[in-house]
Amino acid sequence: MKKLRRKVYMVAGYNTVSMGTGRKEFNPKKECPGLEEYIKEAGQGTLKLIGGAKNVDECAIGNFMGSRFNKQANMAAFFPFIDEGLRGKPAIRVEGACATGALALMTGIKSVLAETAEVVLVIGVEVQNTVKAMYGADILAGAGWFKDRKEGHAYFFPGQFSDRAGAYFEKYGRDKTRKAFARWYRNAIENARLCPTAQEHHNTTKDLEALAMMEPNGRSFVDHLNVFDCSKVSDGASSIAVVSEEGLKRTGIPKEQAIEVLGFGQAEEDLTKKPVEQTELTTSKLAVKTALESAGIIISQVGTAEIHDCFTIAGVMAVEALGLADPGKGTDFILEGNTARDGKFPINTTGGLIGWGHPTGATGVHQAVTILEQLTGKAGDSQIKIPADRPYGLTVNMGGNDKTLVSIVYHRG
């Protein structure tokens, strides 16, 4: 990939609370905030930081399944609801399953590169606690090949990643892998406790690893994963502004409060086919490789990453897809403490999908907001030290069972 023809930055990130079970204020018997409320809160949060709607040229919103979870489509038309100053401005809604948020980011990036916009307001949103979990599993199965739905597990995606876990157990050993899953869960919850908007922020469990070692039970859930190996059902929204150098000037935001997009990788795999290799995230590996090469860096120069841990097994395989460990050795890398917030390669510093939450269409945007906060020193209690010789951030957002991938490399402005 050639060097980007213009400098592209991200600024003014904002997250709503990731709402669902685990939050003290969540009550499934009471009416929850609507899709439009999350969109408005997130959008106004970013507009406030960039000087208002007058500074926005274009808008992009990522939402996966609002037409089924909320019986609502035409999401782009919510932008004037956020602020009357956005009336008449171009807007688009994009979808790519769980990678929807990052595809919205890419839409903003490409608008800036195409010089059709200097400032793009990007929002990701999902409200999923509108249906029972079993019905939600049916809706979320749309992220995969739906013709496999009748043959698949009742909990469709947990079943698919349980199959991956089972293959990984068979190839590399079960005991150590289960321990790595438990460590991943512990890291996720400990990081989420430091982030006020995280779904697991209120989690007070003392021995997290012991809890996460609960034996999977295929009669009540899936064969190779327990409920702690899975991200939860979440409602929430995240927003950020994608801007050019002119956009920075217009919004009055100094470069040191921005992150620059240095490179990116997008990759797709055939939705109708089974994984090429059950124990590897081959499409993730390709997207990360492309992103790093386009940025002109190697993985050892990255100071922190936000990866798509929809399940603990996805976290293990992502470590290997990033090139941090050889196949089968991701478990060792995790158990040695390398991915913890004080490890040599901190991952998911606000909890990731398991700890912060997974409001599907918002996840990719939330990842970018976290990297923005970390690289600019604005992460509050979640802040980690970014080494001077590793000043880069990386995000990996995955849609479906390693089918739609977006990876982005960032550097402080």
Do 88 and 210 belong to one domain? no
Q: Is residue 137 situated within a structural domain?
A: no
Beta strands in 23-87 (DSSP E): 58-62
Convert the pLDDT of each residue in 28-72 to its tens digit.
Answer: 888 889 999 999 999 999 999 999 999 999 999 999 999 999 999
Same domain assignment for residues 27 and 40: yes
Do residues 87 and 75 both lie within one domain? Answer: yes
Question: Which CATH number do you get for residue 394?
Answer: 3.40.47.10
Which has the closest alpha carbon to 355: 132, 42, 23, 38?
23
Rounded CA-CA distance 131/128 in Å is 7
**What share of the chain in percent tops pLDDT 90?**
95
Give whole-number Cα distances, 128 to 136, 150, 239, in Å. Answer: 7, 22, 18
Q: Are residues 239 and 199 in the same domain?
A: no
Element of type H or E holding 12: strand 8-15
How, if at all, do strands 8-15 and 235-243 pair? antiparallel
pLDDT in tens, 224-247: 999 999 999 999 999 999 999 999
Q: For residues 48 and 97, state if they share a domain.
A: yes
From CA 370, how far away is CA 87, in angstroms rounded?
29
Per-residue pLDDT tens over the stretch 341-390: 999 999 999 999 999 999 999 999 999 999 999 999 999 999 999 999 99
Give the domain extent around 401.
155-232+262-412
Q: d(Cα 334, Cα 11) in Å, to the nearest integer?
A: 31
Query: Which runs of E-coded beta strand occur in 27-80?
Result: 58-62
- 299 and 385 both lie in a single domain: yes
Clarify whether residues 351 and 270 are in a common domain.
Answer: yes
